[in-house]
Amino acid sequence: MQMDSPKSHQNVVVMRHGDRADSFEPMWVSTAARPWDPHLVEGGLVRAFCTGRKLRTQLGFPIHRVFVSPFLRCIQTASEVVSALCAVDDDPNALSSKDVVSIDSTSVKVSVEYGLCEMLNRQAIKLDIAPKDGDFGFNITELEALLPSGTVDHSVTRVYEEMPQWEETVSSTRSRYEQIIKALADKYPSENLLLVTHGEAVGVAVSAFLKDVIVHEVAYCAYTELRRPILSENGSFTAGEFDILSNPGQTGISYIPTTPTPTPTDNGPVADDV
């Protein structure tokens, strides 16, 4: 997307992956070669594809570039979403990428970004299933092969050239998520982005830009829309602050204010400690 005026807007959608296998198949972990990296169940693939179609038809702006966490559930989610975004003939009865006859691989470009990965700590990955040496063993070439043909942009340099270190704190992970959202947006200020990541990152995308709220639930394939003004001048740009466009409650995210809203009465507002 080329800006056609000095002032424009950039949109960034931050989305959680689909339904992961270990949430529906408890015994899967006991036999899995990579128990820390579950795949999507069939329902998760369908949910991801249908969410991709929803993004295509309801956002009101095109997605130009997708960045995705290297975890398999995110790669599979991105693959389904991109297939829906790029489908040449939008069949309303299609439920997954298997139902897509052809795609326009030039309309969306995809890249794997380590900075969008899961929280690398025991709060997110149980200690008994995490790799003992801290090496999560992602083969980027194999992961890229799972994405729709022709959509991978091999020219992109990752913001995080390596995976974060095990065992990062929750606070440092949240800072990482906020930083990577801003860094990717700054790197491509003239494009609308979709970031396919994990629940905690989606929560940060709300709490970091919608102050004084606590996110307490992020459903599978939930997403939030961020928008900021971009002023382009003499080959450089100045970006404003992100605003949240979507009503999170309508896109699978639930949150509460960090401070109670006083309830007015005839005698004035109710005190917080009453």
pLDDT digits (tens, 9 = 90+) for 78-115: 999 999 999 998 788 888 888 888 999 999 999 999 99
- Contacts of residue 267, defined as CB under 8 A and 6 or more positions apart, other chains included, come to none
- Ordered mean pLDDT values, 10 residues apiece, the chain (274 residues): 65 97 90 95 96 94 97 98 91 86 92 98 93 92 96 96 94 97 96 97 93 90 96 84 84 84 41 32
CATH of 7-269, one of 3.40.250.10, 3.40.50.300, 3.10.129.10, 3.40.50.1240: 3.40.50.1240
Q: Is there a contact between 98 and 165 (Cβ–Cβ < 8 Å)?
A: no
Q: Is there a contact between 35 and 129 (Cβ–Cβ < 8 Å)?
A: yes
Q: Please give the model's pTM, rounded to 2 decimal places.
A: 0.90
Structure confidence at residue 232 (pLDDT): 83
Structure confidence at residue 6 (pLDDT): 64
Q: Is there a contact between 29 and 36 (Cβ–Cβ < 8 Å)?
A: no
Domain edges within the chain: 7-269
Structure confidence at residue 202 (pLDDT): 96
